[in-house]
A and B are shown apart, each in its own frame.
Chain A
Amino acid sequence: MSLFLFKKPRERKSIKEPGLGISRKYQLLEGRSYVIEESPPDISFDAFANMVSTPDDKGKKTVGMMVTRQHPDLVRQKYGLDQTPIYWLATRTGEDIISPTNLGILTHTMIKFVEEHPSGVILLDGIEYLVSNNDFNKVLRVLDQVNDHISQSRSRMILPVDPRAFEQKELALLERNMEKIVSPAVGK
């Protein structure tokens, strides 16, 4: 048998999460990307989980896709995400794992999602990890490319960023075409 047999694409069932019956708490504008300056990325994950588990003001469900440094099983358990595709940023091989050095696959995966789900939401967690594995400018180009597709659609992207991990100039470049949300420090 040939090793080059046509591989049937893996069938993925619906990626819509069932509704939780709670209110939508985050109103992110369509076609916009949001940099959320925070550590740990609590607001970003809450916003993402809330958006994919609640209908918008027109009663429509939002589908999401997540790329994260955290193990997908833990993320699914904490945020109740059963259907949402979650890609793990890690130097391992396996299904739904993206290597931090493979920026091409990362870009392709996010752009494909935006094209297939023009009003979806992407959470990209682990930008610091990407930068530590690649040149900053290369990572910036990935974000610019995905952001261009977001702007042309009704999608949204959430990008948690630990401001301590970047220089001022780098932060400014990350945020230049995105909305910025700063998490107020509590308990200080």
Chain B
Amino acid sequence: MVKILVVDDSDAFRKVMIELLVRAGFHDVKEAGDFESGVEAFRREKPDFTFVDMILPGKSGVELTKELLTIEPKATVIAMSSIINKTMIRLSLDAGAKDFLLKPTNTIALSSVLVMWSD
């Protein structure tokens, strides 16, 4: 079963994201609200996909992406943000994120990303 971790400081967004993922057939979804709990959940769960909001309280999503890929270089990290900021997207991709999703996302974009980056 595909394991997914969602790291976002918005409870409401995490709830929506989990609902979308469950609807798309992904039932093993874990969540975290900041850098530290994201790293902890990532170490514990070893997810196949990690969705990381670029703007987190404290350390940013770019820093989290770098940290997760240091722990597991083969991890699939997808960056998320509520605006398309070209600089931020470039930094995320340079940090090792595979792709980017605009928030709020939807089943079409989400399914496309999951299919695109599945092994």
Q: Are B108 and A26 in contact (CB under 8 A)?
A: yes
Q: Are B106 and A80 in contact (CB under 8 A)?
A: no
CB-contacts of B20-55 with A (<8 A): 20, 23
Q: Does any Cβ of A come within 8 Å of B118's Cβ?
A: no
> What separation, in Å, do the CA atoms of A25 and B100 have in the docked complex?
10
> What are 8 A-B contacts with C-beta separation under 8 Å?
A20-B89, A20-B100, A22-B93, A22-B100, A25-B113, A43-B106, A43-B109, A79-B84
Q: Does any Cβ of A come within 8 Å of B71's Cβ?
A: no
Chain A interface main SS type: loop
Q: Does any Cβ of A come within 8 Å of B3's Cβ?
A: no
CB-contacts of A165-186 with B (<8 A): 181, 183-184, 186
CB-contacts of A36-86 with B (<8 A): 42-43, 46-47, 49-50, 53, 77-80
Q: How far, in Å, is A170 (CB) from chain B's closest CB?
A: 25
Interface size class of A (residues with CB under 8 A): 20 to 34
Q: Does any Cβ of B come within 8 Å of A21's Cβ?
A: yes
Q: Does any Cβ of B come within 8 Å of A102's Cβ?
A: no
Total A-B Cβ pairs within 8 A: 61
CB-contacts of B62-105 with A (<8 A): 82-86, 89-90, 93, 99-100, 102, 104-105
Residues of A within 8 A of B104 (CB): 42
Residue of A22, A24, A46, A78 near B106 (CB, 8 A) is A46
Q: Which residues of A contact B (CB under 8 A)?
A: 18, 20-26, 42-43, 46-47, 49-50, 53, 77-80, 181, 183-184, 186-187
> What separation, in Å, do the CA atoms of A80 and B89 have in the docked complex?
11
> What separation, in Å, do the CA atoms of A10 and B4 have in the docked complex?
50
> What separation, in Å, do the CA atoms of A21 and B100 have in the docked complex?
9
Contact of A21 with B90 at beta-carbon distance under 8 Å, contacts A49-B102, A78-B83, A78-B84 already known: yes
Residue of A18, A21, A25 near B93 (CB, 8 A) is A21
> What separation, in Å, do the CA atoms of A185 and B85 have in the docked complex?
27
Q: Are A22 and B99 in contact (CB under 8 A)?
A: yes
Q: Are A46 and B102 in contact (CB under 8 A)?
A: yes
Q: Are A186 and B112 in contact (CB under 8 A)?
A: no
Q: Are A42 and B19 in contact (CB under 8 A)?
A: no
Q: Are A183 and B106 in contact (CB under 8 A)?
A: yes
Q: Are B86 and A20 in contact (CB under 8 A)?
A: yes
Contact of A187 with B19 at beta-carbon distance under 8 Å, contacts A25-B108, A25-B109, A43-B108 already known: yes
Q: Are B90 and A50 in contact (CB under 8 A)?
A: no
